[in-house]
A and B are shown apart, each in its own frame.
Chain A
Amino acid sequence: MLTVILQISLGIMAVSTLLYVIRVIKGPSVPDRVIALDAIGINLIAITALVSILLRTSVFLDIILLLGILSFIGTIAFSKFLEKGEVIENDRDR
């Protein structure tokens, strides 16, 4: 029963990811894509969690944490890039 539910959930997550990917490809603006990418990251967390339940293993829990951090950092970096034109500012410029 659990397996079926997990598989259905995974299917839903996959469809959702696919739709985000369409958004990433189509755009139309860069922020759209960045947000889509961020959402894909969150979806990936969910998929990883579901997969690790399905595979009955705990070794992927690190990845969930890492994905959370990275997707946050990535989105911040993109946002900063879009806002200021660069990711890491030079101290001397201030």
Chain B
Amino acid sequence: MQLLHFAILSPFLFAFFIPFFAKYAKKIHTGWFVLVLPILLFIYFIRMLSITMAGETVRSVLEWIPSLGINFTVYIDGLGLLFALLITGIGALVVLYSIFYLSKEKEQLGPFYVYLLMFMGAMLGVVLVDNVMVLYMFWELTSLSSFLLIGYWYKREKSRYGATKSLLITVFGGLCMLGGFILLYIITDSFSIREMINQVHLIASHDFFIPAMILILLGAFTKSAQFPFYIWLPDAMEAPTPVSAYLHSATMVKAGIYVIARFSPVFAFSSEWFWIVSLTGIITMVWGSFHAVKQTDLKAILAFSTVSQLGMVVSMLGAGAAALHYDNTEYYTVATMAAIFHLINHATFKGSLFMAAGIIDHETGTRDIRRLGGLMAIMPITFTISLIGTFSMAGLPPFNGFLSKEMFFTSMLRVTHVDLFNVQTWGVLFPVLAWIGSVFTFIYSMKLLFQTFRGTYQPDKLEKKAHEAPIGMLISPVILVAFAVSLFFFPNILSYSVIEPAVSSIYPTLLDSHEKFHVHISQWHGFTAEVFMTLGIIVIGTAGYLTLSKWKGIYQLFSEKLTLNRLYDKLTIGMEKGSYQVTKRYMTGFLRDYLLYVFAAFIILMGSALVFKGGFSFSTEGTAKIGVYEIILSVVMISATAATVFAKSRLTAIISLGVVGYTLALFFVIFRAPDLALTQLVIETISVALFLLCFYHLPKLRWKKKTRTFRLNNFIISLGVGIIVTLLGIASSSQRTKDSIASFFTKHSHDLGGGDNVVNVILVDFRGFDTMFEITVLTIAALGIYGMIKTKVNEEGKSVEPREDK
């Protein structure tokens, strides 16, 4: 176990001590203790940058289940380290923010930080491990801790709803992904991602290639809130704001993006990958930004905006896959660089925006933009933060969002030159959709900013008197927006330290080992198409925002009935109702029906086996001659059986059953089985006596002398069972393959068993074990009957005296 493993597991270990801090150090906010850990981890990971910058990787194995090939293998390359830095860096800021956001007195801090640390550790595990099974374990841990965090205020109904929804959707995706991993394991016989990348050619030619790809993408899309699985994200906004900022904008939703990027080397050479990933991404982007405009809740706008931006990143990752199809590497890898760059940018501005939204909520008591307004003068610092955040989100200079948006357009424009599955004809859709999505992004960004801070201040609509947030709450968003601004002016500090190593881990095979991807992000390219697209966005977007009230009606077209949320609700409720109906349908509570199922299954299974497997055969070879006694006894038995079935009273049925039993005893006599005949006689008598006992105790009121009503179903079933058993008996006696072992017993009963009664010698000597347990059965039956009669428990669970019979 090395320091690396310890770094991943440290949040879990640390989480163990949090309840003690929360309980015994009440004077200090628990968050202060927690804050230490992400800062230390961040410093630790920063120091590793030098390794990945040199193009090297770190790999360290801790054996877990070596016999199954499941080992806790930590693998650090550019991509993993970038995510680790995001997780720990933003984690530290979020913890700092939460210290001021969550009240020491009102909230339960222990659970909050335990869940948060659990999440942080799980997320570090997801991005740093090399073994897919361990990755899946951490993946589900992120789902679980996210579920706990969304449901943090578990007394609210909406929190519980949001938590359940997110858990259902992400776990669905997680299980799909597990399936994909297992398929990859079947193909490559290894759980290691490194190994899988080395065996790309094997994977490409395998039948499981497409299923594995789709299953893994399903996992990634559900986690990263892609279309149509984005619906859990807006409902996850019921979580405390630090959680929304951390999980639902900066880290967890990017786990899916991580998986897409990580498995790019395995799948990206196929054109299906390019299509599925980029198309899903671009659709999500347009859909998310379009729906963000109509929201009125600050966090809901941000949630849809996150969906849209994640779609943008995913589409760029898909577009970057084109680099594997063409020689012109530089031309298409821009998309991947842009994806990585935007990933970082999105974490900075979205984190700060969520924190700003949290501040507004905290200081005014509402997040509804219809009740907010005129906060510019009251909350100047928050306004500045939001301004930078939204402008960056909208893609305006001089903020980092502008750079990544330009690169986004560049990559989308280049997609039009790709020729896979006739992309050339349809490829023109990509830049168009990207542009439309960006226009909507601009509109909701402006709406978010201006409707919150401009306009008139409405103190009567607010629960609290609005005022600027305490300084502690502002530190984290200020740091984040400082990044957002400085990344615009100095974007190339990231180029070779972070982006290039990450890109080269997405394309491990594209370049020779000593070569490096050329990453240069510039603010100005000259008058290119991208610039005009941005200008168009600003013009159309401004016009769109100013006339928003006029064309708002378009959202009426998308009525509530047609949303995916509605579909989800219908689906969950429908499945519940459906399964209830189905269960109610066949679980009738009548033993008669269950017997019907059992016997019907018997007939169908046995019958079809006999017919289709050719199990039936008929041969009279080796059968004995039928004597006249057997015929007479059979007639007696059949008529007695018929009498039992058609008896008009119960007493008649009991007596006829007795006749059947005695006839059977007679059969035993004829077939020379004296011991059986003896036992059968005694048992039959006792059983008849017991039947009579039961007969007497039948309740008087419901005691109706009624013949069984004739049911066609029952008739068919009983006929079927009879025929099948008869056929089975004939078939099995007609095709005996081995001789009986009976000759052994008759030969050795005297010298080995010391007795001449072969039946008894078998019962107590050769096969005494059976007899012993038959005795046990009888003992249990006797004790059970005694217990049933003697101990009676009333409704309160106390034993009562047995009821006296009258």
Contact = CB atoms under 8 A, between A and B. Distances in A.
A81 to B, nearest CB: 5
Contact-residue size bin, chain B (C-beta under 8 Å from the other chain):
20 to 34
Interface in A49-67: 51-52, 55, 57, 59-60, 62-63, 66-67
Contacts of B632: 14, 17-18
Given A44-B662, A63-B681, A77 B656 contact: no
Contact of B659 (A24, A59, A78, A92): A24
B652 interface: yes
Interface string B628-665: 11001101100110010000000110011011001001
B693 A87 contact: yes
Interface size class on chain A is 35 or more
B805 interface: yes
Contacts of A30: 651-652, 655
A90 B651 CA distance: 22
A51 B670 contact: yes
B636 A18 contact: yes
Interface residues of chain A: helix, strand, loop or mixed (majority): helix
Interface stretch (B48-56, B215-223, B419-427, B682-690): B682-690
B777 interface: no
Contact of B689 (A41, A48, A87, A92): A87
A11 B629 CA distance: 8
B455 interface: no
Nearest to B644: A25
A78 B655 CA distance: 10
Given A25-B639, A51-B670, A66 B662 contact: no
Chief secondary structure at chain B's binding surface: helix
Contact of B677 (A18, A41, A63, A81): A63
B666 interface: yes
Given A70-B681, A70-B685, A74-B685, A18 B629 contact: no
B806 to A, nearest CB: 8
B36 interface: no
B655 A66 contact: no
Contacts of A63: 665, 669, 674, 677-678, 681
B672 interface: yes
B692 interface: yes
A40 B677 contact: no
A64 to B, nearest CB: 10
B651 A60 contact: no
A74 B688 CA distance: 9
B194 to A, nearest CB: 80
Given A63-B678, A66-B681, A24 B655 contact: yes
A73 B236 CA distance: 79
26 contacts: A10-B629, A14-B629, A24-B656, A24-B659, A30-B652, A34-B655, A37-B658, A44-B662, A47-B669, A48-B666, A48-B669, A51-B670, A52-B669, A55-B672, A60-B674, A63-B669, A63-B677, A66-B681, A66-B682, A70-B681, A70-B682, A70-B685, A77-B692, A86-B696, A87-B689, A88-B693
Q: Which 6 A-B pairs have the closest CB atoms?
A: A14-B632, A59-B674, A25-B643, A70-B685, A33-B655, A63-B677
Interface of A: 7, 10-11, 14, 17-18, 21-22, 24-25, 27, 30, 33-34, 37, 40-41, 44, 47-48, 51-52, 55, 57, 59-60, 62-63, 66-67, 70, 73-74, 77-78, 81, 85-88, 90, 92-93
Interface of B: 628-629, 632-633, 635-636, 639-640, 643, 651-652, 655-656, 658-659, 662, 665-666, 669-670, 672, 674, 677-678, 681-682, 685, 688-689, 692-693, 696, 804-805
Given A25-B656, A63-B677, 17 more contacts: A11-B628, A14-B633, A21-B640, A24-B659, A30-B652, A40-B662, A41-B662, A44-B666, A47-B666, A55-B672, A57-B672, A60-B669, A66-B682, A67-B681, A74-B685, A81-B696, A87-B696
